[in-house]
């Protein structure tokens, strides 16, 4: 029961990121949305820790800064940077469905991290999950709800956050969750900034048409408070309880995600959607079976 309520709340909030991002990228360039979100969220959490709580012995050491830099690069810069770029080209539902494949990549990367040959369950689960995403995506490609480029960007992000989870679980963290979260988001913003500036120079038209309207700021608020702060705190709690079981809560993300996208974005739910989601869940079952053994 220690994981049920936090797990359900995490899945519901984490899945909402796709719809919130989809709204935000309608107003500004995706990388601009990401950088504003990261800087505000990271600065806010660090100010709370060091200015309000005035916590002692929570300043990262040099080795811990290096660990945070690696974690932030994988978890924030690459994953969330790729995620916002992909959401410009794929539906919010597919964005949530891709999140559900993370446990499959986590299982496979964990095997490689331990330098052992992946079990057939692990490889089969990953392939089944990818086939499921392909089936769910097929009609969306035909109806301009997704592009191949967007799906490839999403794949890069999925692999990155899976690597981040494996790396996070391999480190014996001394720092509290909020400190880790604040620094990894802030450092992720710094690491993403050069790419945002370079993109602005090469594609100035996309940035010049940005609108900092109510939709943009509501999107930023939702991505910061419920997603970057609350959902990530819940995720860190779940991972510290049990990294493998924590990853299984991600399979609920497409359920919430498709519901949000259908109700708020008027995106279709078809037989392909249901069949593809079922295959992803089947792949998760195989992956869990491998871990149980």
pLDDT digits (tens, 9 = 90+) for 191-241: 999 999 998 888 787 788 888 899 999 999 999 899 878 887 888 788 777
Distance from C-alpha of 220 to C-alpha of 222, rounded to nearest angstrom: 6
| Exposure b/e, 31-53, CB count within 10 A at least 16 = b | bbbbbbbbbbbbebbbeebeeee
Q: Which residue has the tokens 């974690």?
A: 71
Scored b (16 or more CB within 10 A) or e, 277-288 reads bebbbbbbebbb
Domain containing residue 198: 4-292
What total of structural domains would you count in the chain? 1
Q: Is the pLDDT at 145 greater than 80, yes or no?
A: no
Residue 271: is its pLDDT beyond 90? no
Choose among 155, 193, 183: nearest CA to 64: 183
Average pLDDT taken over every residue of the chain:
84
Range with top average pLDDT, 7-16, 171-180, 189-198, 281-290? 189-198
Q: Range with the lowest mean pLDDT among 73-82, 266-275, 284-293?
A: 284-293
Q: Are 126 and 104 in contact (CB under 8 A)?
A: yes
Higher pLDDT, 265 or 218: 218
Give the residue with greater pLDDT, 267 vs 38: 38
Distance CA 115, CA 22 (A): 39
- What pLDDT does residue 63 have? 93
* Spatial distance between the Cα atoms of 41 and 201, rounded to a whole number of angstroms: 25
pLDDT at 265: 85
The answer to whether the CB of 64 falls within 8 A of the CB of 174 is yes
pLDDT at 24: 92
Q: Where are the beta strands (DSSP E) in 35-87?
A: none
CA 176/CA 264 separation, integer angstroms: 36
Q: What's the rounded Cα separation, in Å, for the pair 72 and 187?
A: 6
What's the distance, CA 276 to chain centroid?
20
Instruction: Report which of 157, 179, 292 is spatially closest to residue 236, judged by C-alpha positions.
Output: 179
Mean pLDDT score, 16-45: 92
What is the reported pLDDT for 144? 63
287 CB-side CA count, 13 A: 31
Query: For residues 131 and 126, what is the distance between their CA atoms, to the nearest angstrom?
Result: 9
């Amino acid at each position: 029961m220690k994981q049920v309520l936090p797990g359900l709340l995490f899945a519901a909030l984490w899945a909402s990121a796709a719809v919130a991002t989809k709204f935000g990228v309608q107003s500004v360039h995706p990388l601009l949305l990401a950088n504003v979100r990261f800087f505000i969220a990271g600065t806010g959490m660090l100010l709370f820790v060091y200015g309000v709580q005035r916590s002692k012995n929570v300043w990262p050491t040099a080795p811990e800064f290096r660990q945070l830099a690696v974690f932030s690069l994988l978890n924030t810069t690459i994953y969330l940077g790729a995620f916002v770029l992909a959401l410009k080209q794929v539906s919010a539902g597919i964005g949530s469905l891709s999140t559900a494949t993370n446990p499959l990549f986590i299982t496979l990367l964990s095997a490689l991290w331990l330098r052992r040959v992946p079990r057939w369950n692990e490889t089969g689960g990953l392939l089944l999950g990818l086939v499921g995403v392909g089936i769910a995506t097929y009609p969306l490609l035909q109806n301009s709800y997704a592009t191949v480029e967007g799906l490839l960007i999403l794949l890069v992000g999925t692999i990155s956050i899976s690597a981040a989870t494996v790396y996070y679980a391999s480190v014996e963290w001394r720092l509290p969750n909020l400190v880790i979260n604040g620094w990894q988001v802030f450092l992720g913003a710094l690491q993403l900034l050069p790419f945002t500036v370079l993109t602005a120079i090469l594609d100035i038209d996309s940035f010049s048409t940005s609108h900092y309207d109510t939709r943009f700021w509501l999107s930023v608020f939702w991505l910061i408070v419920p997603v970057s702060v609350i959902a990530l705190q819940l995720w860190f709690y779940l991972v510290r309880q049990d990294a493998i079981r924590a990853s299984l809560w991600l399979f609920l993300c497409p359920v919430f995600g498709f519901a949000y996208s259908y109700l708020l974005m008027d995106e279709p739910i078809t037989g392909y959607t249901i069949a593809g989601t079922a295959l992803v869940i089947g792949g998760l079952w195989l992956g869990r079976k491998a871990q149980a053994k």
